[in-house]
A = this chain, B = another copy of it.
Amino acid sequence: MTWAFGFCHAPWRSKHLASYPSRKSFSYSNCQNKISRLVNGNLTWRERQATLHLCATQKSSTLLERVKFDRNGLIPVIAQQYDTQEVLMLAWMDREALLVTIKEGRVCYYSRSRNSLWRKGETSGQVQWLKDIYIDCDGDSVLLKVDQMGVACHTGRRSCFFNKLNGEDWEIVSPVETSPEVLYGRNSSALKNP
């Protein structure tokens, strides 16, 4: 896959994002001027980061025109292991999470319980590396092909879909592969899924 903006190997860090200028100040010609200065080496490090970010944002606006977020600004996202085709989980993204995922090549969701970005694996190390992104015919749901490191589920199972209907009962059909205590430490008993 060709990564959008070619940022796959130069991930943006959230601590940098905070220092970026407002998107309102962006214009395409302004961006072009800054690109010239960028190429000529006339920008400070911070200006360089901000310029790259703003240019990427401008392109992203076009890219995201096809993506329909709901009235809460969210879209449901399916994560599927790219080689085995196993469906790992369903989570949510906002506009920023989708852009971060595309830019970093590492999956970032939006946590509805925390009301914040949720870089998958930031605590547990169980990262999802992005392989491909699809949107559906209506543009209101996303399918990610990912390479899941370790386990996707906060219970320590490979997939979150481990409760299978058997007759009238939900039966657990997948084993715990990694203890939540190993993933999250001693306080894992109080852990909730983000």
What is A's interface to B at a CB cutoff of 8 Å? 1-2, 4-5, 59, 62-63, 66, 76, 78, 80, 84-87, 89-90, 102, 132-139, 141, 143, 153-155, 157, 160-170, 193
Please give me the residue from chain B that is nearest to A66 by CB atom.
Answer: B170
Copies in the complex: 2
Pull 15 A–B residue pairs with CB atoms less than 8 Å apart, ordered by A. A1-B166, A4-B165, A62-B168, A63-B170, A76-B90, A84-B85, A85-B87, A89-B136, A90-B136, A134-B162, A136-B163, A137-B153, A137-B160, A137-B193, A141-B160
Q: Are A166 and B136 in contact (CB under 8 A)?
A: no
Please give me the residue from chain B that is nearest to A75 by CB atom.
Answer: B90
Given the known A-B contacts A66-B163, A87-B80, are A168 and B136 also in contact in the complex, defined by CB atoms under 8 Å? no
Counting from the closest, the 3 A-B pairs by CB-CB distance are: A85-B85, A136-B160, A90-B141
Q: Are B87 and A143 in contact (CB under 8 A)?
A: yes
Q: Select one of B4, B157, B162, B165 contacting A167, CB under 8 A.
A: B4
